Structure formats: structure tokens, C-alpha cells
Amino acid sequence: MGSPEKGTKGEIHMNIIKKHVYSLIEKEERLDGRKLEEFRKDISIEYDISPNSAEGSARVKIGETEVIAGIKFDVIKPYPDDPDKGTIIAGVELLPLSSPDFENGPPNIKAVELARAVVDRGLRESQAIDFKSLCIKKEEKAWAILIDVYSINDAGNLADAIGLAALAAVKDAKFPKYDEKKEKIDYEKKGTKKISIKEIPIPITVIKIKDKILVDPLLEEEECADARLTVTTLESGRVCALQKGGNVSLTPEETIKMIDLAIKKGKELRKLLK
């Protein structure tokens, strides 16, 4: 799915859709019949989808939105300010096959935002991964977890799907064998050791259309959004990451309502990963 073709016909079509979305939202109704604070029911997480090309992988579907994530490992020299820790490196690629709005080439602003603000910040600020456990030899060698996420179909709410897929792939991953003497990773030998995960950070995207707040937006609803807030929370309810989008500001009351809703929905989605 994606936005309609550019041009007069496409603009007219989009305007008609927007008017329909606005009229429904005013009645607290949605295009697919859901309530404003309701996620799509057909959410699935599939693990180990690419055992031959990745050390960990996952596919997440939220309705018709679909993304896949893969994990690879590398051995690097630890950063000077964290000599006894490993790290994560996240990348998001929005494939043209998933939406006519996405083009081949270097990552666009949206892809960079999703990689940094949703995947990297969510995992890093939540302290979900025990980075010290990634150290092989202090000041000399440490594991780097390479997280790559790809969009397969964009039917709205890519942010939450990408965050879930990245976390699921990390949970699925197993370290490859590392030969200390040769200082080389043997990717052909599958290990059994998994990444030490201490927390389950769940990103929830909440949008504002007019004066209404809703979760898990469809693509058409995203087009109508005045403001967007992606909130990553832990099981305890602690907020570990926030990413604001949209051209309209949010009042303190709206922000609190959106965060509270994200905490509530995060608890629901977290059950899918356990």
C-alpha cells in the first residue's frame, strides 16, 4: 500500500479520503471499524525466518503492515568512553516494493529517524541489552550487534512494527563462533549463546487528528495526523524514549494522555514477545 499517485487525480483521491477520515474521527470511528484506542487484532511475530543468512531474524505483521529484521555480529574495538562494552548498530531500509513513496538509494530522513529514534534509542536508553556482556577483551575486542530492518508492506504504523521486529530478532539471535587465535568469526558454526536481554522496550505510536487521540494508525490516518508521538516504555511503565512528529504542537495534557495510552498498549503488545 502507499499514497496515491502524484498529480491531480491522486490529490483529489487523497482529499476525498481525508474528508472521510475526518468525518469518521469526529464520530470516534475509524476506516476499519476499530475504536480509537484499539490496535489491529491480526498482529503476528514470527522468529528465525532467515536461519541461513542471519544469526537472528523475525517477521512482524500488524494488519497488512509487514517488516522483517535480521541480526549479524561483528567484532570491533570498544569505544574509548566504554572500553568494557559492546554496542548496537541499527539500520532501516524502506523498500520501494512496500510503498510507492519509497525510492531506491541512500536512507531517507524517515528511515534514519526510525533507525535512530525507534530502534537504537529504544534498545539503548531502555538498557535492554547488557552491553558489558558483549565485551570480549576490555579495551581491545567487543561484539557489535548489527540490526537491519526492512519494510515489506506499509499499511500504516511502520514505527511500531519496526521496533517490534528489531526486538524480536535480537531475542532470536545467537552468537556465532569466534576464534580467539585467528581473531576471526566463523559464521558457518552456529552458536547457542543468546544476547542477554534485561528489558522488553515496546514502542507505541499515538497520533492526534483534530482533537482525537488514536493508536496504530492506518496509512490514510497517518496522512491526516496533525501530530505524532512514538513512546517506548518498559514493563514497569517507565518511559525510555520519545519521538515527536507532525507540524502541530501538543499540550501537556495531550502529551500525558498519549504517554498513558502508550504504556497501556505497550503492556498488551509485550505479551506477544514473551
Which residue do the cell numbers 515489506 mark?
152
125 and 33 Cβ atoms separated by less than 8 Å = no
Q: Give CA–CA dist 164/24, Å, rounded.
A: 29
Closest by CA to 269, choosing from 105, 55, 40, is 40
Please compute, for residue 123, the number of CA atoms within 13 A of its CA located in the half-sphere on the CB side: 28
What is the predicted pLDDT for the residue at 69?
98
Residue 252 has pLDDT above 90, yes or no: yes
pLDDT at residue 7, rounded to an integer: 55
Q: Answer yes or no: is 266 within a domain.
A: yes
Residue 206's domain comprises: 42-273
Q: What is the C-alpha to C-alpha distance for residues 146 and 234, in angstroms, rounded to an integer?
A: 22
In a domain, 223, yes or no: yes
**Distance (Å, rounded) from C-alpha 141 to C-alpha 231?**
34
Burial 264-274 (b: 16+ CB within 10 A, else e): ebbeebbeeee
As a whole-number percent, the residues of the chain with pLDDT over 70 amount to 96
* pLDDT for 36: 97
Is residue 6, in this structure, part of any structural domain at all?
A: no
Give whole-number Cα distances, 91 to 108, 147, 210, in Å.
Answer: 11, 6, 33
Which candidate, 222, 188, 191, 220, places its Cα nearest to that of 205? 222
In 3-state terms, what secondary structure has residue 103?
coil
Rounded to an integer, what distance in angstroms lies between the CA atom of residue 223 and that of residue 209? 10
**Mean pLDDT to the nearest integer, 250-256:** 97
Residue 16: pLDDT above 70?
Answer: yes
Q: Confirm whether 123 is domain-assigned.
A: yes
In a domain, residue 73? The reply is: yes
Mean pLDDT of 114-129: 96
Count of domains observed in the chain: 1
Burial 144-177 (b: 16+ CB within 10 A, else e): bbbbbbbbebbbbbbbbbbbbbbbbbbbbbbbbe
CATH of residue 91's domain is: 3.30.230.70
Q: Note the pLDDT tens digit of each residue in 142-157.
A: 999 999 999 999 999 9
Query: What tens digit of pLDDT does each residue of 71-113 get?
Result: 999 999 999 999 999 999 999 999 999 999 999 998 899 999 9
Please indicate, yes or no, if residue 31 is contained in any of the structural domains: no
Instruction: Tell me, yes or no, whether 2 lies in a domain.
Output: no
> CB under 8 Å to 238, separation ≥6 — which residues?
none
Say if residues 172 and 48 touch (Cβ distance below 8 Å). Answer: yes
Q: Average the pLDDT over 260-271 and give the result.
A: 95
Residue in 18, 67, 9 with CA at minimum distance from that of residue 218: 18
Q: Provide mean pLDDT across the span 247-268.
A: 96
**Would you say residue 10 lies in a domain?**
no
- CA-based nearest residue to 107, from 161, 57, 61, 148: 148
Sort strands 202-209 and 227-233 into parallel, antiparallel or unpaired.
antiparallel
Residue 100 is placed in which grid cell?
510507492
Evaluate if residue 180 carries a pLDDT over 70: yes
